[in-house]
Amino acid sequence: MTPQRSAELDNAGTGQTSHQAAAVLGDAARSLLIEALDGRQSPEHDAARQILARTARALLLADLGAPVAPETAPASARRPRKPRESTQPPAAPPLDTEAEPETIARALAQHGVSVAHVETIDAPQVHRHAFTLAAGVRVSRVAALTAEIESALDRDGVAVTRQGKHVLIDVPRSRRTFVKWSRDRDREGSGSTKAPLSFVAGHGLDDQPVTVDLATCPHLLIAGSTGSGKSVAVHGLIASLLDRSTPDTLRLTLVDPKRVELGQWASAPQVEQFVSGGGWEAAHALAVVETVMDNRFSRFADAGVRDIEEYRVAHPDRPMPAQVVVIDELADLMLDKSQRAEIEISVVRIAQLGRAAGVHLVLATQRPTVKVVTGLIGANVPARWVFRVNSGVDSRVALGRNGAELLLGKGDGLLSMPGRGIVRVQAPAIGDSDVAGVLDRSRATFPPREVDGVQITKPPTSLDE
């Protein structure tokens, strides 16, 4: 390779266009190839290969649009590379509560819907904004613009409902506040002096406890998909009932077809029947409860009274505890063809007659379909506690209306009670230490006894004495 060609190669990567660099690179490659074929060895071969590498680098950078700098230039003389600008817009900071109503109103106005902000309530899980609508504007028109509201707020999970003359727009909080079961227990205390069948279903939008009394419900359906908080709610309900009752005021029948949910409560003294499984075992447990109910009606007739309340007044010396049946999961029983009919007949009969006899049902399911919550069951279980479900169809079966499919999960629920309408609540979370504390306090009431080599704690009375 000639000294002139070597100099051209050495300068090929400096200040040249990609086309110029390519021409030099091509000539150099041809020269090296001819010399190699002729068998000539040149001391410039190694240097030429290095220059070729630098030239190739310069060509690549030029094609990418990057500045081409001399390879041997000192660091202080090199042109700094300009950082690439991101093509993504910067993330907007979350709106504060005060800015949300204005943003909502502006988003609706862009689509011809005029609203006026009335008030905002800061709830544990959402900000609830109430608006009045301009004359002639339907709530359904606002609901149809939910996606536009979510886009304006940069927040998913917005729900639009109606309350009287107002449209309510619930916006999920960027940071939710969760309620602890122990907080309400410590505030209210425990013991049988309180209504033995009452429990805190959660905190409402005003962050105040919302209490449910099974004595007046008188039966409850709890529904929610995986992760919704349904199972935690069931445990909180059982813990509350146990914590404020004795075997003289409460007897529980627990049916656990999945065999994994309710077993930890089996040794509580108030638990009279525990069924781990489904099919005929569950059917038998429900039949026993029916027998108790029928026996009570016979006793009412003999005593000349109509229901359990009158009986307790007439015979204060004869305790007649409330009977509560908790089933989790109802779908496993209702979808079992071998026992479905028998299970449904028992559930419906208890639901129809149980209140007067002090017998109450708590039915929990992840699958609130019409095959599980049948027309007869739904008609006789009026109280509903519904967490997030998979679809609007499931919401209508479980709650009687849409909305539960839009809930946030983790205890965010809708409580529908006869005569009270629908209330949005954040269910309390109960921990393992809470469960252990409830069981320890309950077991301390009665000494343990041994059955089949297993030590359990039970009251020393029969099912309905």
Residues 293-313 have pLDDT tens digits of 999 999 999 999 999 999 999
pLDDT given at position 369: 96
Q: What pLDDT shows up at residue 177?
A: 84
Q: List, for residues 83-94, the tens digit of each pLDDT value.
A: 444 444 444 445
Give the chain's length.
465
CA dihedral 240, 242, 245, 248 (to 10 degrees): 150
231 is in an annotated binding site: yes
How far apart CA 148 and CA 142 sit, in angstroms, is 10
The predicted pLDDT at position 455 comes to: 47
pLDDT at 409: 94
230 is in an annotated binding site: yes
225 is in an annotated binding site: yes
Phi, psi of 382 (to 5 degrees): -75, -25
Distance CA 131, CA 260 (A): 45
Using the structure block, give the residue that is written with the tokens 């949005």: 424
Q: What is residue 33's predicted lDDT score, i.e. its pLDDT?
A: 45
The C-alpha atoms of residue 14 and residue 37 are separated, in whole angstroms, by 30
Q: Tell me if 227 is assigned to a ligand binding site.
A: yes
Which pLDDT score, from 0 to 100, does residue 367 have?
95
Residues 185 and 187: their CA atoms lie apart, in Å, by 5
Give pLDDT, residue 4: 54
Q: Does the annotation flag 437 for ligand binding?
A: no
Q: What is the pLDDT of residue 186?
A: 67
User: Phi/psi class of residue 227: alpha, beta or left (left: φ > 0; alpha: ψ in -120 to 50)?
Assistant: left
- Taking the mean position of all CA atoms in its chain, how far away is CA 292? 37
pLDDT-flagged residues of the chain (< 70): 1-96, 186-194, 446-465
Taking the CA atoms of 353, 354, 360 and 362 in sequence, report the sign of the dihedral they define.
negative
Q: What is the predicted pLDDT for the residue at 291?
A: 96
Q: Is residue 346 part of an annotated ligand binding site?
A: no
| Residue 228 annotated as part of some ligand binding site | yes
Domains of the chain: 3-72 (no CATH), 99-172 (3.30.980.40), 181-457 (3.40.50.300)
